[in-house]
A and B are shown apart, each in its own frame.
Chain A
Amino acid sequence: NAGVTQTPKFQVLKTGQSMTLQCAQDMNHEYMSWYRQDPGMGLRLIHYSVGAGITDQGEVPNGYNVSRSTTEDFPLRLLSAAPSQTSVYFCASTSSPGDSPLHFGNGTRLTVT
C-alpha cells in the first residue's frame, strides 16, 4: 500500500532556481493539500485541491503554484526559490475533508541557499 508518495525526499536549491515537488496518491482521494512545517511551528497550509482541475489557496500561498490535472497527482512548484522557503513540505490527501482524516506523505526537506 503506497498511500501518499512524495519525491524527492531531500533537495538543495540556490536562490532563484525553480523546482517541482511531486506528490502522488493511489487511494483515489479527491482532496489533496500541501503543507509546510518550519522548526517550532505546526503545519501551515499552502494550497489545496478538492478535485481535478480545482485548486485554492491556503494560509501561505505566496511563492508557490499548484495544478491538479489528474486525481492522483498534485505537484507543488517553486518558480523562484528564496531562503524563506527552506522548510519541510508535506503532501496530504483524504476522501472527504472534515469527515475523514488526512493521510500524509513522508515529506520533502528543502533547503534554499
Chain B
Amino acid sequence: EDKVVQSPLSLVVHEGDTVTLNCSYEVTNFRSLLWYKQEKKAPTFLFMLTSSGIEKKSGRLSSILDKKELFSILNITATQTGDSAVYLCGKGAQKLVFGQGTRLTINP
C-alpha cells in the first residue's frame, strides 16, 4: 500500500525563522507529489511536483522533489504568524494518499 510519511509531526518556531518540512514516500505508482496548507477548513493547494530536482517557488515558500531518494521538502523562509497551519503532503494520482501532516506554529 502507498505510504507517505511526514516529519516532524509538530514544530514550534519564532517569527522570522526558516523551517523545513519533510515528506518521504514509497515509490509505487508515483505520478506527482502535492503540498497543501490547511488552516481552519479546507486544504489549500501550494505546489505540485513531478520532476526531480526542479524547485517550485511562491514568495517565501519553496519545494523540491528528489525522486531518487523518494522525498520532498517544503521550505518557508522569514516565517510569519499567518504561516501557522497544518501542512499536508500527498502522493499519487487516482489514489492520492496523504501523510499525517506537520502542525507548524509560529510564535510572535
Asked if B94 and A42 make an inter-chain contact with CB atoms under 8 angstroms apart, the answer reads no
Residues of A within 8 A of B12 (CB): none
The 8 A CB mask of B59-71 against A (1 = contact, 0 = none) is: 0000000000000
- B contact residues, total (Cβ < 8 Å): 25
The stretch among B14-22, B40-48, B77-85 that forms the contact with chain A is B40-48
The 8 A CB mask of A67-85 against B (1 = contact, 0 = none) is: 0000000000000000000
Asked if A90 and B48 make an inter-chain contact with CB atoms under 8 angstroms apart, the answer reads no
Residue A63, interface by CB 8 Å = no
Q: With A and B bound together, what is the CA distance between A42 and B31 in angstroms? A: 20
Asked if B95 and A48 make an inter-chain contact with CB atoms under 8 angstroms apart, the answer reads yes
Asked if B42 and A107 make an inter-chain contact with CB atoms under 8 angstroms apart, the answer reads yes
Asked if B96 and A59 make an inter-chain contact with CB atoms under 8 angstroms apart, the answer reads no
Asked if A104 and B42 make an inter-chain contact with CB atoms under 8 angstroms apart, the answer reads yes
Residues of A within 8 A of B9 (CB): 40
Which of B41, B43, B93 makes the CB contact (< 8 A) with A97? B93
13 contacts between A and B (CB under 8 A): A41-B100, A42-B6, A43-B90, A43-B98, A44-B98, A45-B95, A45-B97, A58-B95, A90-B43, A100-B48, A102-B90, A104-B44, A107-B42
Please report A residues at the B interface, Cβ cutoff 8 Å.
31, 33, 35, 40-45, 48, 50, 56, 58-59, 90, 97-107
18 additional A-B residue pairs with CB within 8 Å, beyond A99-B31, A102-B34: A33-B96, A35-B98, A42-B100, A42-B101, A43-B98, A45-B95, A90-B42, A97-B31, A97-B94, A98-B31, A98-B92, A98-B93, A99-B93, A101-B45, A101-B48, A103-B45, A104-B44, A105-B42
